[in-house]
Structures are given as structure tokens and as C-alpha cells.
Amino acid sequence: MDKERKVKNKKSESKLMYFGKLAFWLLAGYLLFFTSLPDYIDNAIDSIDTEEASQVTEAVEPVPVPVQAPPTPSVPKKKVEESCEKIIRGNISSSGEKIYHVPGGEYYDATVAEEKFCTQAEAMAAGYRKSKR
């Protein structure tokens, strides 16, 4: 029993030693590479004359590409107004408040419209609020 335990311990110790050495050499290589890299770059830059350096920078710098929005189909304003049924009625109350009425509303039929709109958003953009009834 004791011999088996010793054999297992030796195997696990040898694995630890292996991985420890591997980690050491990897770290040493990493440090060697990255500590000598700045010197290598500096030497390379010093060996290039200024004309070559400007060519290198021109080749490396990205050229901006203009981005254009896709063209939107233009519809004449008159055609849009003609195609819309202006069913939303807007009127100004005696107190000066701008109110719009939609079909089916309580006061829709009784409203004499000062302005008519195609959409509720259009009415709100003109400063009207929706009728409470």
C-alpha cells in the first residue's frame, strides 16, 4: 500500500516538475521576446530614411471612404396631400386651445375644422392635442 502511494507521489511530482519547467521556459521566452522587441523596432525605424518612412506611413494610414445614404424616392408634396384623406379635424377652442378630433369621437361630427390633417402625428406636430372624448 505504501509503495503504491510513493509511486503515485513520484508520478505527480514529476508531472509538476515538467509543468513547472515548461512554465518557466515559456515565461523566459516571453520576456526575452517582448523586452527585445522595442529595440528591434527602434533599429528598424532608424535604418529607414525619411522618404521611405513617409511612403510606409502613407501605405499604412487608412483612406476614409465617404458613406452615402441610399437615395430616397422623392414624391411631390402635392401628390402626398392628394393621396391622403384629411379626416382628422382640428379646431381652436374659445379659450385658444388647439384640439383635434378623430372619426368616432364624441364631438367629431359637430366639429367645424379650422385645419384638417392626414395623421394624428401631423396634428400634434402642428400644436394640437387629442380630444378627451
Q: What is the pLDDT along the chain (133 residues), one digit of tens a residue?
A: 566 766 666 666 666 676 777 777 777 766 656 666 566 666 666 666 666 656 655 556 667 777 777 777 765 655 555 668 889 999 998 899 999 999 999 999 999 899 999 999 999 999 999 998 7
pLDDT value of residue 71:
75
For residue 96, tell me if it sits in a domain: yes
Are 43 and 90 in a shared domain?
Answer: no
| Closest to 119 in 3D by CA, of 81, 92, 87, 76 | 87
Residue 118 to residue 124: CA distance in whole angstroms: 11
Q: How many residues does the chain have?
A: 133
For residue 18, tell me if it sits in a domain: yes
Are 94 and 52 in a shared domain?
Answer: no
- The rounded percent of the chain whose pLDDT value lies above 90 is 27
Are 14 and 56 in a shared domain?
Answer: yes
pTM: 0.40
For residue 72, tell me if it sits in a domain: no
Residue 35 to residue 47: CA distance in whole angstroms: 20
Are 7 and 41 in a shared domain?
Answer: yes
Are 42 and 11 in a shared domain?
Answer: yes
Cell of 89: 379635424
Instruction: Give the end of a domain, one of 31, 60, 89.
Output: 60
For residue 69, tell me if it sits in a domain: no
| Closest to 86 in 3D by CA, of 120, 124, 127, 131 | 120
Are 11 and 36 in a shared domain?
Answer: yes
Q: What is the span of the domain harbouring residue 123?
A: 77-130
| Domain total in the chain | 2
Are 50 and 13 in a shared domain?
Answer: yes
Residue 114 to residue 127: CA distance in whole angstroms: 13
